[in-house]
Amino acid sequence: MWVGGISSASRPRFLDGGSILKALGLGLCALLLCVTPVIARASSADPAVELEKQLASMQKDETVISFFAGHRWLLHDPRFSKVAHARLSAAQRHLRLAREKATKARRALERRKLVRRMASLNAHPRQAICAVFKDYCGEALRVAHCESRFSTTAQNGQYLGLFQMGTSERRLYGHGPTALQQSHAAHVYFVRSGRDWSPWSCKPW
């Protein structure tokens, strides 16, 4: 039917409250469908993967929260208030949970990096010695080379390890199978004896 030269089929249609609510609900559900699966799947044993998933989840939650920050009238309009509050509360809860999991994942990553670093140091006695003795690295390397040729399993009677520490010294200052443990023990002994290498038969000069 033509009215004033305009087809009734082409006239703009205005949505009523129910249609707006339906459209709003579908839009918010689409947002939440992006959010919820990320949280549900974010249970990987790999902290790097876990962190990535939680950061993605946080981004989705923040999108929902940002939407309501820009459309606060939805929270107060009686037609939409109940749905809007429910969606906003869910996003806020998910965001808190994702942040907690992301923090745990970051800590796990830091622990893993530390373990790998320590393993690397333990695998290379020279690096372990320098990491522990710092400014005295050069002197400590010369002493350890003279005492054990950088062998953590070197033994000469009661004297063991990189720095060939005796039984009483190991009891007082510690010992262990790794280069890092032996370096720490030797460093404590070195500091307490005056930093002059007097307890060792090998000297760095």
Q: Could you write out the DSSP letters of every residue in 1-24?
A: -EETTEEGGGS-----HHHHHHHH
Task: Give the pLDDT of the chain (205 residues) as one tens digit per residue.
Answer: 443 443 444 343 434 445 555 555 545 554 544 444 444 444 457 999 999 999 999 999 999 999 999 999 999 999 999 999 999 999 999 999 999 999 999 999 998 887 787 777 777 899 999 999 999 999 999 999 999 999 999 999 999 999 999 999 999 999 999 999 999 999 999 999 999 999 999 999 9
Question: Is residue 44 within 8 Å of residue 103, measured between CB atoms?
Answer: no
Instruction: Please give the CATH topology (third level) of the domain spanning 124-192.
Output: Lysozyme (1.10.530)
Q: Residue 191 is encoded by which pair of tokens?
A: 């500091």
Domain ranges of the chain: 19-122, 124-192
pTM value is 0.49
